[in-house]
Amino acid sequence: MTTTTTDSAALRSQLVDRLVAEGFLHEPRWQQAFLDIPREAFVDKFTVHDPATGRHTHYDLNVDTATPLAAVYDNVSLLTQLDEGGTATSSSTTPSLMALMLERLDVHPGHRVLEIGTGTGYNAALLCHELGDHSVTSIDIDPSLVEQARTRLAEVGYGPRLVVGDGALGEPSAAPYDRIIATCGLPRVPATWLDQVRPGGIILVNLGFALARLTVSDDGTASGRFTDYAAFMRLRTDINDTAPTVRDIIETANQDGTASRSLWPAVLEERPVQCLHAIVHPHVRRVVVHGDDGDMYALVDPVSSSWARARLDDSGNAVVVHGGPRNPWTGLVELADWWDNAGHPEPTRFGLTISPDGRHVLWLDQADATVMTLPT
């Protein structure tokens, strides 16, 4: 079967209908952008991961067009680059998350936007469709990704300003911006970004497993709420950065260390607890191993060279072994207990205020109700 433009247009229409029906896409202008821009123009070879089975399926539009094209327009992330350990380092984000973020960004013609994480260039194309090339700057650490995106954007008629560099530093030469949108996950919002946004401008960024929408004030602070669950690949500040694999995390946590016992909170697996933990302790990597003898939590913090593993014993307590200067299990348990005692607040009740010196203050319901100052 030869795939035609008509096939792509029909699949785009079906995707838009789905995003509208599921509540991710409301505004006609963004509906039109998704209808007009072919996603396959930005991805020819890609991998789809099935979290339920762990299976990876590889597609190549250069070999077969029909089956991969249908996969392109499924509402899933398309993995487009893997490091040596098999960990994805670039992708085309789930369309529903793209749509949600574009609408949360509240961007309009005349606004200037900095995108952190060019990736395939598809999201930059959607921005250009609404704002025009001259209003969009996009930065990525990987020169090959930037050049590939530049070529593919040109092929569909767009020419935004693309820059090779460390997204954590922003792009000061084109500042100030009205909006910064980060299509990558970060542990903290860089203070440099606050300097590059006009007062009243918006920063939209993924922290942990949540999306934060922050408004920059005249005094240089940025404040706002977490609006949605979201998770992106982490920002790379070095092209040679590699993330620890699941095997690495388990092997590290299985070392000999200091043994202790602790409570095992009943709310440990609640999604808001996982979300809050990822916001407060963003460097801790967590793997849960399900076995015949029960579950094992493996927690590794590469930044502090700390690790822990915990198993539930017959009495309902945790048997913990840990090593390094701090015990990552303790941080998880303390947050779970706090969340339980606070009445199980959803992530959207939390907000964040960031000062020009980079201090992050987490609050609940209102900005003066401080929960904690986040560790750096």
pLDDT of residue 232: 63
pLDDT of residue 58: 86
246-341 falls under which CATH superfamily?
Bacterial toxin RNase RnlA/LsoA, N repeated domain (3.30.160.690)
Q: What is the pTM of this model?
A: 0.90
- Residue-range domain boundaries for the chain: 5-229, 246-341
- Any idea which of 77-81, 110-114, 361-365 has the lowest mean pLDDT? 77-81
pLDDT of residue 241: 66
Return d(Cα 283, Cα 244) in angstroms, integer: 11
pLDDT of residue 325: 96
Q: Is 48 within 8 Å of 56 (Cβ atoms)?
A: yes
Residues 6 or more apart whose CB falls under 8 angstroms from that of 8 comprise 38, 40, 69
Average pLDDT for 243-265: 90
pLDDT in tens, 180-195: 999 988 999 999 999 9
pLDDT in tens, 31-86: 999 999 999 999 988 888 777 777 878 888 887 777 788 889 988 888 877 666 55
Average pLDDT for 301-323: 93
Strand 317-323 relative to strand 306-312, pairing: antiparallel
Average pLDDT of the chain, as a whole number: 91
Which residues are catalytically annotated?
90
Q: Is 169 within 8 Å of 190 (Cβ atoms)?
A: yes
pLDDT of residue 195: 97
Domain 5-229: top CATH class:
alpha beta
pLDDT at 343 over 90: yes
Average pLDDT for 284-307: 90
